[in-house]
Amino acid sequence: MKKKLIVGNWKMNGSLAANQALVRGVLDGLEGLQVNAAVCAPNVYLSQIQAMLHDQRALDLGAQDVSMHEQGAYTGEISADMLREFGIRYVVVGHSERRQYHGEQDLHVALKAQCALQAGITPIVCVGETLTERRAGGTEEVVKRQLAAVIQTNGHCISEVVVAYEPVWAIGTGLTATPEEAQQVHSVLRHQLNAATAQAARISILYGGSMNATNALTLLNQPDIDGGLIGGAALKASDFLAIMAAASQCATAS
Ligand code: 13P
């Protein structure tokens, strides 16, 4: 089995001192784990963390958003080329918090993914339904529509993305999709990717939404769950490491 990918999304958390302790703690515990790992930090801290990660390969660095424009008069935006200068390997695009609070729509997300890909950065494309959409039976339709926009804009490059299924109702709420619920949606996404590219097998599909040390193993053991996108539990080294240990267990058991 390919190694699982565990990505921490710090969201708008951290400080110079807290980041230093967190990254140090994660690096100290990562040794020997069979897992691909990354942390997505706020932009202002990227150079701090890049400096901490420069002499190792166990932990990659990511950002949480990128502009859908290449350069120019877009006050406050950060381009993919700028991120690349800071050694960024991944960038989260289309997180539900961006869709909800910043009006991002499917096309914006698709263009952001395109900018990242053009700069050689792997976009982590987030899809997921709200509770209302789930209750109305719309989960599959919503996630397929969100992913279809990214596939349509990016063509054969779609094989270079990572997809994250994050049910909005499970983010930061302590509610988690059951392993079966998550697997069901992951399998829908896998079929959609298979239909889009012959290279779909290389695409990791992560689960996100209240993943923690307790539920990680059963979620990660599902056949189409290739890793996790972790919010709250990525802010404490021991919690994040426990999830990575579960991911490593899946990789070595297979
Ligand atoms: P939580 O793990 O805090 O639910 O957040 C998930 C998430 O939104 C990761 O991007």
For the Cβ of 230 lying below 6 angstroms from any atom of ligand 1, the answer is yes
Q: Which domain holds residue 55?
A: 4-253
- What mean pLDDT do residues 218-222 have? 97
User: CA-based angle 4:10:15, to the nearest 5?
Assistant: 135
Q: Helix (H, G, I), strand (E, B), or coil: what is residue 204?
A: coil
Span 152-208, pLDDT tens digits: 999 999 999 999 999 999 998 888 889 999 999 999 999 999 999 999 999 999 999
**What is the number of structural domains in the chain?**
1
Q: Tell me which residues are annotated as active site.
A: 95, 166
pLDDT, position 193 = 97
Tell the residue nearest (CA) to atom 2 of ligand 1: 231
User: 96 CA distance to ligand 1 centroid (A)?
Assistant: 10
User: 198 CA distance to ligand 1 centroid (A)?
Assistant: 30
Q: Residue 215 and residue 207: Cα distance in Å, rounded?
A: 12
- pLDDT higher than threshold 70 for residue 219: yes
Pocket test for ligand 1, best of 90, 210, 230 (most atoms within 8 A of CB): 230
User: 210 CA distance to ligand 1 centroid (A)?
Assistant: 6
Which atom of ligand 1 is nearest the CA belonging to 211? 2
pLDDT, position 176 = 87
Which atom of ligand 1 is nearest the CA belonging to 11? 10
Span 30-72, pLDDT tens digits: 999 999 999 999 999 999 999 999 989 999 999 999 999 999 9
For the Cβ of 243 lying below 6 angstroms from any atom of ligand 1, the answer is no
Contact 50, 87 (CB under 8 A): yes
CA-to-CA dists, residue 72 to 75, 94, 120, 229, 248, angstroms:
8, 22, 20, 31, 43
- What mean pLDDT do residues 239-243 have? 98
Tell the residue nearest (CA) to atom 9 of ligand 1: 231
pLDDT, position 50 = 98
For the Cβ of 208 lying below 6 angstroms from any atom of ligand 1, the answer is yes
What is the band of 254 on the pLDDT scale with cuts at 50, 70, 90? low
Which atom of ligand 1 is nearest the CA belonging to 233? 2
Span 64-100, pLDDT tens digits: 999 999 999 999 999 999 999 999 999 999 999 999 9
**pTM of the prediction?**
0.97
DSSP designation for 3 = P
Give the pair of three-digit tokens for residue 59: 């932990």
Q: Residue 197 and residue 215: Cα distance in Å, rounded?
A: 31
User: 229 CA distance to ligand 1 centroid (A)?
Assistant: 7
CATH number at residue 73: 3.20.20.70
